[in-house]
């Protein structure tokens, strides 16, 4: 017969293992992220896009006047350049790595960024999911100890 503590431990541990395993499996491959942001006059921003080889990126930047700098793994490099009205950037990552885009709104009106980005999964996120699965196993293991012998103080 299982004790009440053991049953609760098995339920909680199983839930943690299920959530961690589902998250780990769903993180496989590239993920698409939609960006729709607006920046005030004088405001600047930076995007870091971590993607694998052959990931397609699209970015449309609209504003009266703005500065743009882009550096990507491989040969795609755009030095700091001033633009007016609209710029559409479409590129494919030639190598695994991080593309860095710096934007500065230098015009008298808002700057709008619309993008569709294909991103690689952050390794820290995958590690978090593995730790969640291990935590579920530890909880089940400890709770099974309550079935074998009730520890003093419980």
C-alpha span between 104 and 4 (Å, rounded): 60
Q: Give backbone dihedrals phi and psi of 105, rounded to 5 degrees, phi first.
A: -80, 110
C-alpha span between 101 and 76 (Å, rounded): 12
C-alpha span between 32 and 10 (Å, rounded): 36
Q: For the residues 127-133, what does the mean pLDDT come to? A: 90
Q: Tens digits of per-residue pLDDT, 9-63? A: 889 999 999 999 998 888 777 778 888 888 888 888 888 888 888 888 898 998 8
Residue 115 pLDDT > 60: yes
The two structure tokens encoding residue 117:
């980005």
Pick the CATH number of 30-120 from 2.60.120.680, 3.40.50.300, 3.30.470.20, 3.40.50.1360: 2.60.120.680
Residue ranges of domains in the chain = 1-28+122-154, 30-120
- pTM for the full predicted model: 0.65
C-alpha span between 117 and 121 (Å, rounded): 12
Of 147, 127, 125, 124, whose CA–CA distance to 135 is shortest?
127
- Distant-in-sequence, close-in-space partners of 2: CB < 8 Å, separation ≥ 6: 10, 147
């Amino acid at each position: 017969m299982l004790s009440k503590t053991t049953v609760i431990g098995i339920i909680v541990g199983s839930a943690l293992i299920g959530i961690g395993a589902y998250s780990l499996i769903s993180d496989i491959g590239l993920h698409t992220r939609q960006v729709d942001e607006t920046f005030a006059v004088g405001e600047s921003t930076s995007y870091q896009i971590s993607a694998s080889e052959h990931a397609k990126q699209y970015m449309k930047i609209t504003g009266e006047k703005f500065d743009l700098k882009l550096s990507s793994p491989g040969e795609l490099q755009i030095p700091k350049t001033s633009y007016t009205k609209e710029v559409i950037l479409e590129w494919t990552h030639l190598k695994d790595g991080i593309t860095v885009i710096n934007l500065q709104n230098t015009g008298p009106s808002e700057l709008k960024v619309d993008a569709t980005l294909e991103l690689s999964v952050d390794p820290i996120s995958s590690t978090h999911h593995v730790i969640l699965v291990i935590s579920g196993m530890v909880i089940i293991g400890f709770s099974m100890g309550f079935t074998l012998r009730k520890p003093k103080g419980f």
